[in-house]
Amino acid sequence: MNRTHFFGAHFSVAGGLENALYRAQELNCDAAQIFTKNARTWKDPELTREQVTRFDNARKKTGITRIFSHCTYLINIASTEPEKLKKSVSVLRAEMARSGTLGLKGVVLHPGAHLGRGTEAGLETARSSLNAVLSLDDGWFPELLIETTAGAGTCLGSRFEEIGQLIRSLDRPEAVGVCLDTSHVFAAGYDLRTTAALNGTLDAFHRHIGMQRLKLIHANDSIPSLGSRKDRHTHIGAGLIGRSGFGALMTDNRLKFLPVILETPKEADGADMDEINLNSLRELAL
Ligand SMILES: [Zn+2]
Ligand SMILES: [Zn+2]
């Protein structure tokens, strides 16, 4: 098959981690994203040997190797509260270890919120948290991928400058890449709606972060408007980025051969929307 990108979606792990890969295979995906634990709690269960074996078998059977995990939303590596910060570092470390054991390619992390102390102080705390986690890499850690954010409240990472600065400040910048979420960058004020607008946005990404650090795309259309700093995903072509924006994204040479993961609602009017959204992306990539 002539591939331009490696398409996939965030899939449920209900009934077993391996079920995400079998669902991905049903939809002809080459990539997948999962939660390796319940994303709404701090609880951090160890993987059993049986879970790992079933996941390994599913990876072999499906041939899907571009698999990513998304961290729990509870983590704040820039927190002002010592207890919360400690927990965030240990849960992130456990996520990296678990994802490594499962043979995943990357772990997606939001860069945290400064909670009113200001961007510079927040980035400094994030830097020391990431250094603490990455120094524990026993050679099995997957790549840590910092996700671009919409910039709600005091969240860091809505400006490419902040992500670039954070990565360059780390002891091991080579261990870290970036995940670009289309709806987040749009809400943060980076236009993607036309080829010209996308060019400007990717030029800024390259200037402040570097295209070589871009490892994953989250493809989500946006309900909130450009610069609204609000995060609400919708189906490809149904939001304000629109089909023309995704057409520009899917045909830009700088984004070719990257994994592209949907995080869009799973259902609409009873229809299975992953299949429809994947088909939209595939069509627009032709
Ligand atoms: Zn995310
Ligand atoms: Zn995302």
* pLDDT tens per residue across span 8-32: 999 999 999 999 999 999 999 999 9
Tokens at 255, concatenated: 């984004």
What's the structural domain count of the chain? 1
Closest CA to 278 of 264, 269, 270: 264
Task: Report CA(228)–ligand 2 centroid distance (Å).
Answer: 16
User: How many A from CA of 209 to the centre of ligand 2?
Assistant: 18
Q: What is the pLDDT of residue 268?
A: 83
Tell me: the pLDDT tens digits for 242-262?
999 999 999 999 999 999 999
- Which residues form the domain of 34? 6-285
Within-domain flag for 1: no
Q: How far is the CA of 147 from the centre of ligand 2 (A)?
A: 7
Closest ligand to C-alpha of residue 260 is 2
- Distance of CA 179 from the midpoint of ligand 1 (Å): 9
Q: Which residue has the higher pLDDT, 130 or 286?
A: 130
Ligand nearest to the CA of 263: 2
Active-site positions read 40, 70, 73, 110, 147, 181, 184, 218, 231, 233, 263
Ligand that lies nearest to the alpha carbon of residue 155, given by its number in the listed order: 1
Q: What is the mean pLDDT of the segment spanning 130-159?
A: 97
For residue 2, what pLDDT is reported?
58
Spacing, Cα 263 to ligand 1 middle (Å): 9
Residue 133 lies in a domain: yes
Residue 183 burial (10 A CB sphere; 0-12, 13-18, 19+): buried
Cα(192)–Cα(248) distance, integer angstroms: 8
The structure tokens listed for 134 are 């990455």
Q: Is the pLDDT of residue 156 over 70?
A: yes
Ligand nearest to the CA of 110: 1
CATH at 111: 3.20.20.150
Average pLDDT of the residues in 129-156: 96
Alpha helices for the chain (secondary structure H): 18-26, 49-62, 82-101, 119-134, 160-169, 182-187, 195-208, 242-251, 273-285
Joined together, the tokens standing for residue 241 give 């980025």
User: How confident is residue 190, by pLDDT bands cut at 50, 70 and 90?
Assistant: very high
Q: Is the pLDDT of residue 114 over 60?
A: yes
pLDDT per position as a tens digit, 30-80: 999 999 999 999 998 899 999 999 999 999 999 999 999 999 999 999 999
Give 1's pLDDT tier (boundaries 50, 70, 90): low
* Cα 55 to middle of ligand 1, angstroms: 23
